[in-house]
Amino acid sequence: MGGKIRYVIFFVLVLSVFLVSLCFASEIYYFVDEKGVYHFTDLPDDKRYRPFRLWESGLTKEEIEYAVREISNRYKVDPLLIMAIIKVESDFNPYAVSIKNAQGLMQLAPITQSELGVKDPFDPYANIEAGIRYIKFLLDKYKQLELSLAAYNAGPGAVDKYGGIPPYKETRNYIKRVLKYYKKLKGVKLAQ
């Protein structure tokens, strides 16, 4: 009986949070701690928080591939490269949030979101479109895939400061992971 009451209380809590968020149009974040306790806030101060959605996006990998192909063609960027970046950045989770608060499928940093005019980084289509515009800018600027990936990961300032790939272990591993997955994808066609 106690378990049923907990579920009813949880349902009422979730419904209340959802209704309050609708009324105030504020983003609500949550996480579940190691004891199974749910934590909600509108000002996340812990990397474990993720946006609260009553319904998840429901996007399949094929729908993400379709969006990537359509937007990549518009910006003349290889869609397989974008799929490799998404795989490494978020593993196709549109609600991914990094330790540094990069968000969405392509893990856009808040400053990059602002520069690209992204209003909702958890909107998969907006995130993909902005991420593709950003990598296109970097590819045009650096003319080399490895330097562009380094700038995507560490920022253009770091690439410019070091005159090449920064000596950051995370960035060097990032480049290797994206290139490895990119080569793997070249043998596989995207969903039509």
Q: pLDDT per residue over 101-143, tens digit each?
A: 899 999 999 999 999 999 989 889 999 999 999 999 999 999 9
Domain match, 66 and 47 both: no
Contact 80, 70 (CB under 8 A): no
Output the domain CATH number for residue 94: 1.10.530.10
| Domain span including residue 44 | 2-51
Which of 12, 30, 51 corresponds to the end of one domain?
A: 51
For residues 54-71, one letter each, b for 16 or more C-beta atoms within 10 angstroms of the residue's C-beta and e for the rest, the string is eeebeeeeeebbbbbbeb
Q: Which residues are part of the catalytic machinery? A: 89
Give the model's pLDDT for residue 155. 96
Q: Are residues 105 and 169 in the same domain?
A: yes
Q: Report the predicted TM-score, pTM, of the whole model to 2 decimal places.
A: 0.70
Alpha-carbon distance of 182 to 162, in angstroms, equals 25
Q: Supply the pLDDT for residue 142.
A: 97
Q: Give the pLDDT score at 38.
A: 74
Residues 119, 157 within the same domain: yes
Residues 44, 115: one domain? no
98 and 172 housed in the same domain: yes
Taking the C-alpha atoms of residue 133 and residue 56, their distance in angstroms, rounded to an integer, is 25
pLDDT tens-digit series, residues 68-77 = 999 999 999 9
Same domain (yes/no): 32, 68: no
Question: Do residues 16 and 78 share a domain?
Answer: no
Q: Which residues of 87-124 are buried (b: 16+ CB within 10 A; e: fewer)?
A: bbbbebbbbbbeeebbbbbbbbbeebbeebebeebbbb
Residues lower than pLDDT 70 in the chain:
1-3, 7-8, 11-27, 52-58, 188-192
- pLDDT at position 7: 66
Query: Per the domain annotation, does 45 fall within a domain?
Result: yes
Residues 172 and 130 in one domain: yes
In a domain, 161, yes or no: yes
81 and 33 both lie in a single domain: no
CA dist 24 and 121 (Å) reads 19
The residue from 51, 72, 88 where one domain ends is 51
- pLDDT for 43 equals 83
Same domain membership, residue 101 and residue 137: yes
* Residue 163 included in any domain: yes
192 within some domain: no
Give the domain-ending residue among 27, 51, 75.
51
Residues 26 and 107 in one domain: no
Residues 87 and 116 reside in one and the same domain: yes
Position 126 in a domain: yes
Domain count, the chain: 2
